Amino acid sequence: MSGPGSSPNEKVVKQNEDPGDPFSEFTNAHVPAGSPETRLLSAFKNDTHTRKAYLAGRGKSAWKTFELRLVRKIKQQRSTDPTSRPEYPSSLGLTEFTRRATEVALGKSSRAIMEDRVLGVQTPGFTAAVRLGAELLRHWYDVCAVWSGPVYLSSPCDDSLAGIFQAAGIQDIRDYYYWDDTQRNVCLEKLLEDLSKAPQQSVVVLSASAHYPTGADLSQNQWAVIANVIMRRRLFPFFLLPPQALCYGDLERGSWPVHYCASQGMELLCAQSFSHCFGLYGEAVGHLLCVLKQNSLLFSMESQAVKIVRSLWAQPSVGGAHVVATVLSNPGHLIEWKEEVKCIVERCMLIRELLRERLRLLGTPGCWDHLTQQGGLYCFIGLNGEQLEFLSKKRHVYLFTSGCLNVSAINSRNLDYIVESIHLAVTTSF
């Protein structure tokens, strides 16, 4: 019989409890090895040298974030607007934002838009847009026996891309040739050869502009040739537009490959980001664009997208999307925004030109024209492993082993030291 104030059920619970048991369900959780970026950033932070420089890829210590004057003004206006109220957006996001983002990629006069066979989905950032696209592809794989993969990524590419597709359940990930270390440029011949050998219905992930990590892009003529191979081989293009105007300072030019392929009647996906080019750090404004062949497919695609979104993030936040939509829908704002972005692009190009010219004046062996032939925030510097190790060990200048350099991390204070360090790395005997 139970004692006063207790029940039989309580007695059973107490008998089964072991307050001293240290066991946790997470005791044997696997700890993944640190990424190369994490290890490099850690080494940089522990370095006490006064002239150290972190030029590796997209590391948080590489450069200070910027805030556009126009964006700050729009945010202030919204915060003081008495008619503004908190919103509960749909799973597909802010309608005006998705409309404007779609027009940026395809052009306002796009035939696909006019025929209402385009779906736009706002996402919490660029990575989320890629993930949603991957999930839609996996769904396609599950219900349609026609598509059996694989997914082709450029070599090299953003290290996170393969993991995003694998997290969505797509395991067959392959590479296609992109960058030629010897020529320090895109090798179109080998790229076309790899795409020509890809199985029909393969998904090909393509950087529309400012290819990361090389910064090397294709010309419009080269894109036309690639599009012809894609159509002939019945491949499926998945475009990436992460920098959105930070390569050329021109929205239309940066998205030209997407516009062109859609004009050829091709189905495609395109992941876009508006975070960097609007200085919306921490607000993660992304967009996934789906161009279909028939309007009749739109409802089923939209329904599937809503289902996936609800399982991943439910609804995106609308603050940053409102800012982007406000700029893109107002001609005056758009002109002002373009001028600010143009200044960022011109600064990066000036840094490239200064690097090339000062290396030339120092008599640094080799040709450095590729520095100005590439565009955007990143470039492949063209150094080998020993030279990159020399930079980090002897000169405290940190880059990835791939040689990807963040141009925006270079400024008037560290330019001369970095140029001198590159010169020493190239001329020192190992």
**Domains along the sequence of the chain with CATH:** 36-63+334-427 (3.90.1150.10), 71-329 (3.40.640.10)
The tens place of each residue's pLDDT in the chain, 430 residues long, gives: 444 555 555 555 455 555 556 667 776 666 666 677 788 888 999 999 999 999 986 644 444 567 889 999 999 888 887 877 777 788 999 999 999 999 999 999 999 999 999 999 999 999 999 999 999 998 876 655 545 569 999 999 998 999 999 999 999 999 999 999 888 899 999 999 999 999 998 999 999 998 999 999 999 999 999 999 999 999 999 999 987 888 888 888 889 999 999 999 999 999 999 998 998 988 899 999 999 999 999 999 999 999 999 999 998 998 999 999 999 999 999 999 999 999 989 999 999 999 999 999 999 999 999 999 988 889 999 899 999 999 999 999 999 888 899 998 999 999 999 999 999 999 997 6
DSSP-derived 3-state class of residue 269:
strand
Dihedral, 157, 256, 253, 374 alpha carbons, nearest 10: 30
> From CA 400, how far away is CA 374, in angstroms rounded?
18
- For 271-310, letters b (16+ CB in 10 Å) and e give bbbbbbbbbbeebbbbbbbbbbeeeeebeebbebbeebbe
Give me the count of residues in the chain.
430
C-alpha 222/C-alpha 240 separation (Å) is 17
Strand 118-123 to strand 53-54: parallel, antiparallel, or no bridges (unpaired)? unpaired
pTM confidence score: 0.89
Q: Do residues 63 and 344 lie in contact, with contact meaning Cβ atoms separated by under 8 Å?
A: no
- Tally Cβ neighbours within 10 Å of residue 13: 9
| Most distant pair of Cα atoms in the chain: their distance | 96
If DSSP codes are grouped into helix, strand and coil, which group holds residue 319?
helix
Burial 125-154, CB ≥16 within 10 A → b, else e: bbbbbbbbbbbbbbbbbeeeeebebbbbbb
